């Protein structure tokens, strides 16, 4: 019997969990669905870390999408939902973290590196002018 199927192994992996009943749900009101989608685009998937919860296939992202849609359907504002998710998961869930002591380098780092690069470039150009002046004299 083993030779009949050639000892083939299933090619696709199977998920042990059944698909979530809300995996493909959408709100019936297009305006509410648009608000939910806009909010989901602003929230980072905690599993994928590089995708929003709107784009992620992770089960946790599906749960977060369901929570967002449920709260939008209940009439909560996107700002209140975002605050609730940040309180639950931390600032990491937001693509736009607030400025505080923990995120100061995140916000100021690019400016510091720009200043450092400008200072190094200015010093290099100035040294080049000094070398040219000494060589020509």
Q: pLDDT per position in the chain (137 positions), as tens?
A: 455 555 554 444 444 544 455 545 677 888 999 999 999 999 999 888 788 998 888 888 888 999 999 999 999 999 999 999 989 888 888 888 778 887 788 789 999 999 999 999 998 888 766 666 666 55
Structure tokens at 128: 């080049």
Based on the fold, state whether residues 105 and 73 are members of the same structural domain.
Answer: no
Same domain, 70 and 133: no
> Is residue 35 a part of any domain in this protein?
yes
Per this entry, what is the length of the chain? 137
pTM above 0.75, yes or no: no
Domain shared by 52 and 74, yes or no: yes
Q: Which residues pair with 43 in a beta bridge?
A: 94
Angle made by CA atoms 68, 69, 73, in degrees to the nearest 5: 120
Q: Tally Cβ neighbours within 10 Å of residue 38.
A: 11
Hunting for tokens 């009101």 — which residue is that?
29
């Amino acid at each position: 019997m083993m030779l009949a199927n050639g000892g083939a192994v299933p090619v696709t992996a199977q998920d042990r969990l059944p698909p979530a009943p809300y995996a493909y749900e959408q709100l019936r009101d297009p305006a509410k669905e648009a608000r939910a989608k806009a909010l989901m685009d602003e929230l980072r998937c905690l599993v994928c870390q590089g995708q929003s919860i709107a784009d992620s296939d992770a089960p946790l992202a599906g749960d977060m999408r369901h929570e967002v849609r449920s709260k939008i359907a209940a009439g909560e504002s996107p700002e209140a939902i975002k605050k609730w998710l940040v309180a639950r998961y931390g600032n990491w869930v937001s693509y736009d973290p607030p400025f505080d002591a923990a995120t100061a380098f995140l916000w100021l780092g690019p400016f510091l590196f720009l200043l450092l690069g400008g200072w190094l470039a200015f010093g290099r150009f100035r040294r080049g002018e000094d070398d040219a002046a000494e060589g020509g004299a």
